[in-house]
Structure 1
C-alpha cells in the first residue's frame, strides 16, 4: 500500500504539468480566435472606404461600371502598360495571387492610369501576354482624370501626372511621369474596401492570399 501511495504521489506533478499544458493550449487557441480578424470586415481605418461608381471600358471594348464589383470579392490595382518601374513586378504579383487562389471565386481588376495610350486593344494584348485568366481578371481603361477621381476620391490613393519629369521608354520615345498607387486593394461584394496590401512585401501578399482563402472556405 505504501508503494502504491508513493506511485500515486509521484504521478501528481506529471498530472498537474499535463493540466497546465492543456489549459495553456486552450487559452492560446481562444486568444488566436479572438484576435483573428473577420476576413469579411474592413481593416481598421478602412471602414468608410468604398467604390461608388465609375464608367470605363474593358479590354474587349465593352463598357464597365462599378456594378462589376457587386456580389463578389475583387483585388484591384492601378497600372499602365508602358510603366518602366513598378507595374511589371506588380502585375506578376497579381498573377501569383490569381494562381494561388484558383477556385476561390475572387476576381481581379486592373485599371490603367494612362488611358491616352492604353486603348482596349493595347490592354488586351498586355493581359494576354501576362497570362491573365479572362474569366477572373478584367483590365479597364478610360479618361485619365476620371481614373484619378476613382483613385483619389473613392479609394484615397493618389495619382500624379508630371510633364516636367519625362520618362524614356524602351523604344526611345518619352512620356510624362505618372506616380500611381502600388498597393493591391481588396474590395468586398458591397464595394467596401476591406484592406490594401503592398505588392513589394511578401508577408503582405501572403496575408492577402490567406485572407482570400479564408473568405471562400466552406
Structure 2
C-alpha cells in the first residue's frame, strides 16, 4: 500500500530574499519622502510625552532665571517688602527728619538730638516676630560688627509697644549682642510710632506691621537713603552711603546724590522767605498712589471735565484755573518714548526759549501715569535744560483714567499710556482750545506763532459759536453783485478751533489717521 505524502502547508510568508527587498524598498521610499526614522514618534503616547517633557524643561529654566540671585526667604504678610529705583536728587531736596522722642530699653528718654551731627540707621521691628525681624536684626548685628570703626548709630523702633516694654527690649537686644552705646532699641505710644513712620520715613507702621528697610540719616538730619537689607548688593551700597556721609564736612547743598528715598522736599522754608514763588515746601512723590491721594476723588463724580487738578514735577497740585488770563500751549508725551516725544519736546523747548518774557506758558502732560511720577518728570525736565524754579513750562501727571478724560474732554485730544496726540494745542486766556498744530510741520509752527500773537492781544473773549449751516433754500443764491455763493464763509473752522499741519484733512480724517503711528499718534 503506497503511503501518502503529507500535503505542503500553504502559508502567506514571503520568501526571505523578497522580504528583504520589500523592506529595503520601503526604507528608500521613506527616505525620499523625508520621513527618516519617524516611526518612533508615531508610537502611542510618545509624541505627547515629549511635548510635556519639553514644556516642563522650559518652565524650569524660566523659574531658575527668575529667582536666580534672590537670597532672601519669602516675607510674611506683616512685612512690606520695598521695591525702589535709584534716583538722582539734589541733597537740599531730601526730607529733613522732624525731632522725636521715645523711650530706650534702659528706660531713659531718647531724642533725635542725641544723634545730632552723627550718621544713624533706623529700622522697625517687633520682638515677637517669628521670622523676618530675626533675620533683619541678624543683619544689623553683622553691620554693627563690620562698622565698629565708624561713628554710626543704629536705632531700632518696635511697632508692638503694647508688648515690647523696656525690659523685654533689653532682653531681646542681648540676644543680638547689641552695644547699648551704638545700637538703640526704642518703644513708646503706638500712635506716636505711627506718626514717626509716616511723617519722617514715609512708610506704613502699625501693630506688628512695618516695612523692612534700613533708613540712613546723615549728619544734618536728612533722610539720605533707603536700603533693602535682604540683598547683598544693597548691603554693600549701605557701606558706600555711610562712608560718603561720614566723609562730608559740610552740607552738600545743591549737589545731586543717589538715593532710593521715595520723597523729596520742594525747598527749604528759609529759602522760601527770600523770594521763592511757593508759600510751602512741596513734596515730590514716587508712587502713583501718592499722586492719586494729592488729586483726590472729586474728578470722578464730574459728568464733564471743564477744569482739572494734576500734580507737577515738584509734587505740587496744579489747578487748570491758575492759567486764567494766560495764553498757553499744551502737549502730551511720556518720558520713556524713544523718539517722537523727544523731537516734540525739543520743538517745545525751542518755542519756550524764543517766547520767553512774552507771558506764554507751556504745559506737558504725561500719558504714562503709571510710570511718570513727579520725580521722573523732574529729572526729565532738567534733562531738557529746564531750570528747577522755572514754572513757565509745567510737567504734569494724573491718574490714568483722569488723564484720558482731561485729554478728551478738556483738550479734545487723546492720551492713553504710550499713545497720545502729537499736536501742540493752543489755549486762550479763557481756557478754550483755539488751535492744534503739528509739532513736526514748520508751516504749522509759523501759524502757531501768529496765532499766539493774536490771542495775546485779545482783551475780551471772542464769540466762538460756529455759524449755522446754510439752509437748502439758500443754496445757489446770488450775491448783491450778481455772483452765486455756496453759503459758506471764510474763517476759522468749528468753534473757533483750527488744526494746522494736517494737509487739509477734516476732523474725521484726523481721527482715523490718529489710530496709526506717525499720523497724529505716538505709540
Tell me, yes or no, whether TM beats 0.5: yes
Alpha-carbon displacement from aligned partner over 1:81-135 (angstroms, at most 9, x marks no partner): 0112310011011111111111111111101111110000111111111111122
Residue 205 in structure 1 maps to residue 250 in structure 2: no
Separation in structure 1 between the aligned mates of residue 180 and residue 88 of structure 2, nearest angstrom: 29
Question: Per-residue deviation at 1:54?
Answer: 1.6
Query: C-alpha separation between the residues in 1 aligned to 2:90 and 2:161?
Result: 30
Checking the alignment, whether the CA contact within 8 Å between 2:97 and 2:200 is kept in structure 1 is: yes
Root mean square deviation, CA, Å: 2.1
1:59 to 95, 105, 111: 105
Structure with more relative contact order (C-alpha pairs < 8 Å, separation 6 or more): 1
Distance 2:130 2:240 in 1: 30
Matches of residues 33-182 of structure 1 in structure 2 within 5 Å?
44=89, 47-161=93-207, 178-182=208-212
* TM-superposed deviation, 1:45: 8.2
**Unaligned segments of structure 2, at least 5 residues:** 1-86, 249-523
The whole-number CA distance in structure 2 between the counterparts of 1:110 and 1:98 is 13
Question: Secondary structure at 2:155's aligned position in 1?
Answer: strand
CA contact (8 A) 1:59 1:123 kept: yes
**Would you say the 8 A contact 1:100–1:209 is kept in 2?**
no
Q: Secondary structure at the match of 1:107?
A: strand
- Give the secondary-structure state (helix, strand or coil) at the position aligned to 1:76: strand
TM-superposition CA deviations, 1:163-206 (whole Å, max 9, x none)? xxxxxxxxxxxxxxx32011000001221111000011111011
Question: Structure 1 pair 182/115, CA: closer, same or farther in 2 (3 Å)?
Answer: same
> SS of 1:159's equivalent?
coil
Paired residue for 1:30?
A: none
Match of 2:323 in 1: none
Q: Whole-Å Cα distance in 2 between the matches of residues 94 and 119 of structure 1?
A: 21
Contact 2:228 2:235 in 1 (8 A): yes
* Counterpart Cα distance in 1 of 2:185 and 2:171: 11
In structure 2, C-alpha distance between the alignment counterparts of 1:90 and 1:184, rounded to whole Å: 9
Q: Which structure carries more strand by proportion?
A: 1
Secondary structure at the counterpart of residue 89 of structure 2:
coil
Extract unaligned runs of 5+ from structure 1. 1-41, 162-177
TM-score, normalization by structure 2? 0.29
Partner-residue secondary structure (3-state), 2:124: strand
Question: TM-score, structure 1 length as denominator?
Answer: 0.68
Residue 196, structure 1, aligned to residue 192, structure 2: no
Deviation at 1:217, TM superposition (A): 5.7
Q: 1:193 to 1:217 in 2, by over 3 A?
A: closer
Higher fraction of helix: 1
Shift of 1:78: 0.6
* 3-state DSSP of counterpart to 1:110: strand
**Superposition deviation, residue 154 in structure 1:** 1.4
Q: Partners of 1:136 and 1:43 in 2: how far apart?
A: 30
Deviation at 1:50, TM superposition (A): 2.5
Contact kept, 8 Å, 2:216 with 2:226, in 1: the verdict is yes
Deviation at 1:43, TM superposition (A): 6.1
